[in-house]
Amino acid sequence: MNSTLSLLQLWHMCIRSQADSQDADQGLTEQVLQWETLRKVMGGLSMVRCEALRSSSVDEILHRHFGPFEGDRPLFYVNFTLFWRGMEAILQTAGVFNSEGLDTSVQQTVTSLRRFRDLVLSELPGELGGGMGDGHSSECSVRQLRLLYDRLRRGAVAEGVSSATVAEYWAERLDTLP
């Protein structure tokens, strides 16, 4: 199965599992993954897997791919962009990432969504792109989203006819913004 699809399924399973938990914070369970939930998921790795990931423990893997951030602050939550990037990096390091199984236009859109994810993680202010240290969510302005969407749309247009579907995707996202 395609790794991106598998990661989406894993995200939803994790979110559902913490929504069922009595300890889940109201309102955040649909937006972020609690650090302890991620730790439990990763805790099932054998030492052989940890060694394949060039790490001696699950905690080392988590800190390498998900945080801590700013001044070694611990993370309490991981948003989807950070989860997606971290889990893909783990799969790639382990040599098991699979990008097969999607038709060309869907694969191009997923590639563009990865660019969006990476832009969010690297360019947006505050903790929006990374894990939320204390559980308070950061917000992104419509203007910031518009600029990112438009940059991705223009990039797809510049790439040519094969990226027409991607350009249309970002144009549609732009049209949905107020």
Averaged in consecutive runs of 10 residues, what is the pLDDT profile of the chain (178 residues)?
A: 92 84 53 84 70 76 74 74 91 88 90 90 61 50 89 86 83 94
Q: What's the confidence (pLDDT) of residue 134?
A: 44
How many CA atoms lie less than 13 Å away from 126 in the CB half-sphere?
12
Q: Answer yes or no: are the C-beta atoms of 153 and 174 closer than 8 Å.
A: yes
- What's the pLDDT score for residue 176? 95
Quick one: pLDDT at residue 3?
93
Instruction: Give all strands (DSSP E) within the chain, no chain letters.
Output: 32-34, 77-79
The DSSP bridge partners found for residue 59 are: none
Whether the model clears a pTM of 0.75, i.e. scores above it, the answer is: yes
